Amino acid sequence: MNRHKLTFNSYTKIFILLLSATLYGCSMTDNKSGLADDKLTTTSYSEAFNRAFQLQQQGAIKKALYYYIEALQHAPNNAPALVKIADIHVLLGNDSIATHAYLQAVELDPSLTLAYQGLGRIEMDNRNYKQAKIHLQRAILLDQKRLQEQGANKQDDYYRLDNDSPIISYVTSAVIEDMQRSFALARVYYQLALNQNTQSANILSNFGYSYYLTGELKLAERYYKRAINADPSFNRAWTNLGLVYVRKNQYARAIKTFKQVMTEYEAYNDLGYFIMLDGRLDEAQYFFQKAIDLSPRYFRKAYSNLEQVKMKKRDLLLLSSNESL
């Protein structure tokens, strides 16, 4: 047991050096990091961690990273510090280092839901959906066990979430379930997360998309509108609401909705594109031409889409001619 601990401590020290080298590499290439202007020596883990947390709350993530690493130097086997370090490396685009830190954190403390959530998000971003699901489900199981022990109320065979629940794990798992056409389970996860954060435009929009996928357009429209009411600047909800109107053949409403987040000529091009995907080529051609006519400059995307429609129509005409021979 002691031998393992010694080996692990040595491994941790090597990892701290790696993190430090990465941090200083960032500071040398980014003059805005300002590390040299605000570097103070700390005398304890709590002092360094609290300093890091304050800087992180202020958005100074590279300075925060410096102090989280210093906190880890004070307490080399501290899992929460490793999770914080990993979170910042995700923001900096250093997924390999973040993964390394998350894995080391769960080796130290297998009950860290946020570490599993972080691993799941990285795998999700890399489209490794199977592995993402494994990590996220681990976070959910740990959270549900905690909630059960605390006597939480049940909802749809799950315990209701609280402020300590890894909500992102539930929402991301729901997205994966939608992708795998497990819509009922996806909606349970969305509802659990939504009950805890009723004004989340992201959750509401994802909930709407789940219903869009099953053709339940009235419910999809309702959730998209709720998302927009929660955050009018949430572009994805506007675009997805426009798609609902496309599916309903309400083109004027679709254009009006798309125009909330794009120019009029881009709205006509996007409308044409979605109609083209449904095989309505004559209508798609009209809207692509409309986009070209409205555009103040050469609109490459619309011209390309228009040519694609014409090619599809020629192919259909040729196929029809061959069948009539």
The 10s digit of each residue's pLDDT in 40-66 is: 788 999 999 999 999 999 999 999 999
Question: Mean of the per-residue pLDDT values for the chain?
Answer: 88
Identify the residue with better confidence: 274 or 5.
Answer: 274
> Looking at the predicted structure, is the pLDDT value of residue 118 above 50?
yes
Per-range mean pLDDT, top range of 18-32, 69-83, 188-202: 188-202
Buried b (16+ CB within 10 A) or exposed e, 85-116: bbbbbbebebbebbbbbbebbbebeeebbbbb
- Report pLDDT for 212: 97
pLDDT, average across residues 210-238? 97
- Report pLDDT for 32: 45
pLDDT, average across residues 276-286? 93
Length of the chain as a residue count: 325
- Report pLDDT for 13: 53
Give, for 62, the enclosing helix (H) or strand (E).
helix 61-74
- Report pLDDT for 318: 78
Lowest mean pLDDT among 12-26, 58-72, 160-174, 196-210: 12-26
> What is the C-alpha to C-alpha distance for residues 67 and 74, in angstroms, rounded to an integer?
10
Model confidence at 30, pLDDT cuts 50, 70, 90, reads: very low
> What is the C-alpha to C-alpha distance for residues 105 and 86, in angstroms, rounded to an integer?
9
- Report pLDDT for 155: 83
pLDDT, average across residues 190-214? 97
- Report pLDDT for 12: 55
Are residues 276 and 266 in contact, defined by beta-carbon separation less than 8 angstroms? no
pLDDT, average across residues 111-135? 97
pLDDT, average across residues 202-218? 97
Model confidence at 106, pLDDT cuts 50, 70, 90, reads: very high
